[in-house]
Structure 1
Amino acid sequence: MEDKKTEIQNCLAVLKKGGIILYPTDTVWGIGCDATNADAIDKIFALKKRAESKSMICLVSDFKMLNEYVEEVPEVAYDILKYAAKPTSIIYDDPIRVAENIIAEDNTLAIRVTKDPFCKELTKRLRRPLVSTSANISGQPTPASFSQISPEILKGVDYVVNLHRSKKSSKPSAIIKLGNDGTVKVIRK
């Protein structure tokens, strides 16, 4: 029997020690860590064989947490998120209080306010944003289900969440870039 509470406790124990987890998100299976821990973020870059110049998405539990990690959330972000038909990550200017190595070269960070009950509870209990990057080696296809995740990824994380393993993943989130100057650009539909 899958037990969400136990899984959250197991994840928190690993995350607080700087470990990385493999977990189901509101979109695809993700590799995650505490977004304020630079060493843990480095482990994810190494596991994915991903260039550090490629940034990753973070999950937050709610608007309050979002505001703690972005210098200034543009007003339009709330409307976009309120009316979005699918999970939507927004790239914000001037992220704050996160590890330097998760911030893109142009001083931006993609953040998604998660609606997934497991991710919401986990980020709320962690009290920090959670890195969320697809569970694949860079350049390989994003796994559509848990069974498609490569052994290399499974062995490379410190903990694998034992929930929703039979569920098909949906598509990756939409990504919208919001500039503090009012510009809105759709990066991924």
Structure 2
Amino acid sequence: MKDNFDKIIQLLKAGKVILYPTDTIWGLGCDATNVDAINKIYEIKKRDTDNPLLIIVSDIDMLKEYVKSIHPRVETLLVHHKRPLTIIYPAGDMLPDILLKKGKIAIRIIQEPVIAQLVKRFGKPIVSTSANIAGVEFPKTFKDISSSIINSVDYVFKYRQNDKTLGEPSVIATYTKRGKLKFFR
């Protein structure tokens, strides 16, 4: 059975939470501009709101809508980096404060083609956080996701549930004031 994008987009617009495969690991997601939906993810994960969630965008054009500035070397870095790369940017004005830490936001341009298409059709960023309870090891495959997480969401993607490839989180980096790249993970 295929996933119905129209249904998923309606759920996202209604503030619902989805469980979906990314270019890294399985993630919990929602409309990144909906504070109530974001709070649901914090509740599901039992995560402190002082620990911001990252978001995914479909492409560089969407990225530019949600950040104040992009370091000139980011586009080159994104093209040549071997693993999915989340970069911390100065946030623009279109995202809720709950996603920000000191005025910054962690964003990844999603490389998973089906999910990139979903984000593009949705027209806004989607939260992307590992599908686990805070402090518990992240699931490397769909089968590793706890039933409590699965039962807490409004939609579970069917796509890629049988993948055997072990997922790993993205690399996280930022540019310092001096223009140097600093890696956090």
Tell me the TM-score normalized by structure 1: 0.93
Give the root-mean-square deviation of aligned CA atoms: 1.3
Separation in structure 2 between the aligned mates of residue 98 and residue 132 of structure 1, nearest angstrom: 14
* CA contact 1:69–1:98 (8 Å) conserved in 2: yes
Q: Which runs of 4+ in 1 moved over 6 A?
A: none
- Aligned length in residues: 184
2:132 aligned with 1:133: no
Asked if 1:120 is matched to 2:113, the reply is no
Give the match's secondary structure for 1:75. coil
Segments of structure 2 that go 5 or more residues without pairing to the other structure are: none
Query: Following TM superposition, by how much is the alpha carbon of 1:78 offset from its aligned partner in structure 2, in angstroms?
Result: 1.0
1:175-186 equivalent positions in 2, closer than 5 A: 175-179=172-176, 181-186=178-183
| Residue 20 (1) aligns with residue 7 (2) | no
Identify which of 76, 82, 86 aligns with 2:83. Answer: 86
The superposition leaves residues 81-103 of structure 1 with CA deviations (integer Å, 9 ceiling, x where unpaired) of: 01101111101123331122111
Shift, 1:181, TM fit: 4.9
- Shift, 1:34, TM fit: 0.6
Show the counterpart of 2:58.
61
Q: Is the 8 A contact 2:65 2:92 kept in 1?
A: no
Please give the alpha-carbon distance, in whole angstroms, between the structure 2 residues aligned to 1:128 and 1:178.
Answer: 24
Instruction: Report deviation, 1:9.
Output: 2.1
Find the aligned partners of 1:18 and 1:102 in 2 and give their Cα distance: 16
- The aligned counterpart of 1:29 is 26
Structure 1 counterpart of 2:139: 143
After TM superposition, the structure 1 stretch with the greater mean CA deviation from structure 2, 148-157 or 173-182, is: 173-182
Structure-1 separation of matches of 2:93 and 2:47: 23
Scaled by the length of structure 2, what TM-score is found?
0.95
Match of 1:154 in 2: 150
Letter aligned with residue 157 of structure 1: V
Provide structure 1 residue ranges, at least 5 long, that are not aligned to the other structure.
none
CA distance in 2, matches of 1:22, 1:169: 17
**Cα distance in 1, alignment partners of residues 66 and 88 from structure 2:** 12
What is the aligned-residue identity percentage? Answer: 38
Q: Which amino acid aligns with 2:84?
A: P
After superposition, the C-alpha distances for 1:110-169 in whole angstroms (9 at most, x for unaligned) are 101111111111110111011000000000000011111011101111111111001134
CA distance in 2, matches of 1:181, 1:52: 30
- What code does the residue aligned with 2:151 have? K
Matches of 1:102 and 1:185 in 2, distance apart? 21
CA contact (8 A) 2:18 2:30 kept: yes
Tell me, in whole angstroms, the C-alpha distance in 2 between the residues paired with 1:41 and 1:69. 17
